Structure 1
Amino acid sequence: MNLSAESHSIPLSDGNHMPLLGLGTYGDPRTTPKGTALECVKLAIDVGYRHFDGALVYFNEHEVGQAIREKIADGTVRREDIFYCGKLWNTFHPPELVRPALERTLKALQLDYVDLYIVELPMAFKPGKEFYPKDQDGKYIYHHTDLCATWEALEDCKDAGLVKSLGVSNFNRRQLELLLKKPGLKHKPVSNQIECHPYFTQPKLLEYCRQNDIVIVGYCPLGSSRDASWVNLKSPPLLEDEVLVSIGRKYNKSSAQVALRFNVQRGVVVIPKSFSPERIKHNFQIFDFSLTEEEMKAIEALNKNIRFVELLMYVCCVKGMDQWCYFYIV
């Protein structure tokens, strides 16, 4: 696969293309200063990023959209150069709420369409004003969801021109099959966004998705922060792995750049999140070297089936399935 800073897109099954390297835009709204996403996305566009991963529940889509519009206005990019991924949140799974949710994202972005819109989780919360509804005991209030009905509403959004491509996130094989085998399927999912990095290479799910022309988008491609509220702190720091470090020395690259190159070289899209200008630039510098077949195999051998993201509170009951299941079981 010939990759360059200017050309590193992967084809999708619907005829569209997705850049293999993107910028994740999540930031804790309680601690991230206003304007951070705006400035970082503008910088990223100047650096060369064209793929941005966002969500309504990040509460900063208005800043991301403003950054994109400003860089279009100053002539740096055209709208068709930018690939924006938005997400359908858990409280909007009922079919009648799907388009209004997408329209909220479009209104925040002040754009006419998004390039990819994905079901963020194969589970639902109780619909309402609260994004994280809880009962009087502080437990999440779930909602039985029919993924096929939700998907049909998404297909209508694509047919209406509000989104170019449709995908999913955190879906296991069984949940993907539920959609792929849906009677009357008009638009199959083109992507599945999951945790994916050298300690969690996802070989079985990756192979299944390849067989069905579904591109894997890997979040936490560098491991994760050490935030105990949602990260498994027993997981060893990925970027300290000696194999990644030693390969990096050979190419005068960091272990982070090696980890990113590993995934893009095997056709896995990566969306490292950073609001650090230095790291945004650093993470983009992965197109001036290539890993050998032996190095790729050495990194693949690092797989420990370790998840950094362990959102154990998220369990779901999906209509059409006969058991309660953690959303991330693969």
Structure 2
Amino acid sequence: MQTVTMNNKLEIPQLGFGTWQIPEGKAAYESVRYALEVGYRHIDTAAAYGNEESVGRAIRESGIDREKIFLTTKLHNNDHGYEQTKEAFQESLRKLDTDYVDLYLIHWPNPIASRSHWQDANRGSWKAMEEFVRQGLIKSIGISNFREHHIESLLERAEIKPQVNQIRLYAGEQQHKLVQYCKDKQMVLEAYSPLGTGGLLSSPLIKSIAEEVGKSPAQVCLRYDVQKGHVVLPKSVTPSSILQNKDIFDFTLNAEQMARLDEMENICGPTQNPDETSF
């Protein structure tokens, strides 16, 4: 599995299995278990997804050594702040039934619960996360849905720079300014919803390129972000799609195809402004 090196010199698999909107129970357990069986070694979940227990059970019962699986979870919006983060992280460890996580992210920079004091809340959370890194409970720490001003505020007090920013990225929504900013800060970009939550799969342009390269529209979408250097996190509960989404490292999009995708309009709707969300 192809990897990307983070600014702490640790590697993250460039293909991950996303679990957003996969409900706790049979669906989460079986999809993660199958993903691991067919070769995924990077699993992405979050406290807010409500499926950490099933994800943890699938990992535990897969028979694969824990050290060979890159596991990510995220801080819930209601748990920002130093003490709250310490409690929330321990609860995630309990639900996942693991001794450590490979990557822990602040899920949103400015949730309703801490909107009046988001800067201090984020700094408190980050301080707790840095302590967990030093204790060996977290290997890497990062952020999700953060924009430049959120990152600048965090960096004013941070002792460890974020290794990752997980944001909405796909053909038509590349957030160029933010991506370049993160690269300048030596952060890896993780692309969530790399298929536009399925909206890209009916695009005539993507279908045309898929025919040219003999691949599926989903594989073209994922390959596009991989060639941008991003980590991709496709989600599916369908075994055939889970398997197909893995096979994106045996072909390359040429410069002309990449340019056509670069020019694509966003057909899947605008990315939410994290300062205006209602959660």
- State whether TM-score is above 0.5: yes
Report the CA distance between 1:214 and its aligned residue: 0.5
TM-score, normalised with respect to structure 2: 0.92
Q: Which residue of 2 aligns with 1:56?
A: 47
Kindly indicate whether the alpha-carbon contact (under 8 Å) linking 2:22 and 2:237 is maintained by their aligned counterparts in 1: no
State the secondary structure of the residue aligned to 1:165.
strand
Q: Whole-Å Cα distance in 1 between the matches of residues 240 and 227 of structure 2?
A: 23
Cα distance, 1:81–1:56 mapped onto 2, change above 3 Å: same
Q: Which residue of 1 aligns with 2:7?
A: 13
Kindly indicate whether the alpha-carbon contact (under 8 Å) linking 2:15 and 2:233 is maintained by their aligned counterparts in 1: yes
Q: Whole-Å Cα distance in 1 between the matches of residues 54 and 193 of structure 2?
A: 22
* Alignment of 1:151 onto 2:126: yes
Residue of 95, 112, 131 corresponding to 2:82: 95
Larger radius of gyration: 1
State the secondary structure of the residue aligned to 1:45.
helix
Report the CA distance between 1:256 and its aligned residue: 1.1
Kindly indicate whether the alpha-carbon contact (under 8 Å) linking 2:22 and 2:28 is maintained by their aligned counterparts in 1: no
* Alignment of 1:71 onto 2:44: no
Where does the alignment leave 5 or more consecutive residues of structure 2 unmatched?
none
The aligned amino acid for 1:23 is: F
Kindly indicate whether the alpha-carbon contact (under 8 Å) linking 1:124 and 1:143 is maintained by their aligned counterparts in 2: no
* Alignment of 1:216 onto 2:189: yes
Q: Which residue of 2 aligns with 1:289?
A: 251
TM-score, normalised with respect to structure 1: 0.79
Report the CA distance between 1:28 and its aligned residue: 5.5
State the secondary structure of the residue aligned to 1:197.
coil
Q: What per-residue deviation string (whole Å, max 9, x for no partner) do you get for residues 139-191 of structure 1?
A: xxx553312222112111111211100000000011111222x14x3211011
**1:24-43 mapped onto 2 (5 Å cutoff):** 24-27=18-21, 29=23, 34-43=25-34
Q: What per-residue deviation string (whole Å, max 9, x for no partner) do you get for residues 22-80 of structure 1?
A: 11112364xx7x311111111101111111110112221111111111123xxxx3212
Kindly indicate whether the alpha-carbon contact (under 8 Å) linking 1:201 and 1:303 is maintained by their aligned counterparts in 2: no
**1:241-260 mapped onto 2 (5 Å cutoff):** 241-260=203-222
The aligned amino acid for 1:291 is: L
Report the CA distance between 1:110 and its aligned residue: 0.7
The aligned amino acid for 2:85 is: V
Kindly indicate whether the alpha-carbon contact (under 8 Å) linking 2:200 and 2:268 is maintained by their aligned counterparts in 1: no
Higher helix share goes to which structure? Answer: 2
The aligned amino acid for 1:260 is: L
Report the CA distance between 1:307 and its aligned residue: 3.6
Q: Whole-Å Cα distance in 2 between the matches of residues 84 and 143 of structure 1?
A: 32
The aligned amino acid for 2:79 is: F
Q: Whole-Å Cα distance in 2 between the matches of residues 47 and 93 of structure 1?
A: 36
Q: Whole-Å Cα distance in 1 between the matches of residues 38 and 116 of structure 2?
A: 42
Where does the alignment leave 5 or more consecutive residues of structure 1 unmatched?
1-6, 128-141, 226-236, 316-324
Q: Whole-Å Cα distance in 2 between the matches of residues 298 and 102 of structure 1?
A: 42
Cα distance, 1:306–1:223 mapped onto 2, change above 3 Å: closer
Name the count of aligned residue pairs: 276
Residue of 261, 269, 288 corresponding to 2:223: 261
The aligned amino acid for 2:183 is: R
Residue of 92, 95, 100 corresponding to 1:105: 92
* Alignment of 1:84 onto 2:75: no
Q: What per-residue deviation string (whole Å, max 9, x for no partner) do you get for residues 250-308 of structure 1?
A: 22111111010000111111111111111111111111111112211111111449645
Q: Whole-Å Cα distance in 2 between the matches of residues 150 and 105 of structure 1?
A: 15
Q: Whole-Å Cα distance in 2 between the matches of residues 66 and 24 of structure 1?
A: 16
**1:292-303 mapped onto 2 (5 Å cutoff):** 292-303=254-265
Q: Whole-Å Cα distance in 1 between the matches of residues 127 and 96 of structure 2?
A: 24
Kindly indicate whether the alpha-carbon contact (under 8 Å) linking 2:81 and 2:123 is maintained by their aligned counterparts in 1: no
Q: Which residue of 2 aligns with 1:326?
A: 276
Kindly indicate whether the alpha-carbon contact (under 8 Å) linking 1:87 and 1:118 is maintained by their aligned counterparts in 2: yes
Q: What per-residue deviation string (whole Å, max 9, x for no partner) do you get for residues 196-225 of structure 1?
A: 100101111111111111111111100125
Q: Which residue of 2 aligns with 1:134?
A: none
Q: Whole-Å Cα distance in 2 between the matches of residues 121 and 35 of structure 1?
A: 27
Q: Which moved more, 1:299-308 or 1:47-56?
A: 299-308
Q: Whole-Å Cα distance in 1 between the matches of residues 54 and 223 of structure 2?
A: 29
Q: Which residue of 2 aligns with 1:234?
A: none
Cα distance, 1:161–1:307 mapped onto 2, change above 3 Å: farther
Q: Which residue of 1 aligns with 2:37?
A: 46
Cα distance, 1:219–1:302 mapped onto 2, change above 3 Å: same
Q: What per-residue deviation string (whole Å, max 9, x for no partner) do you get for residues 77-97 of structure 1?
A: 321211111000111112111
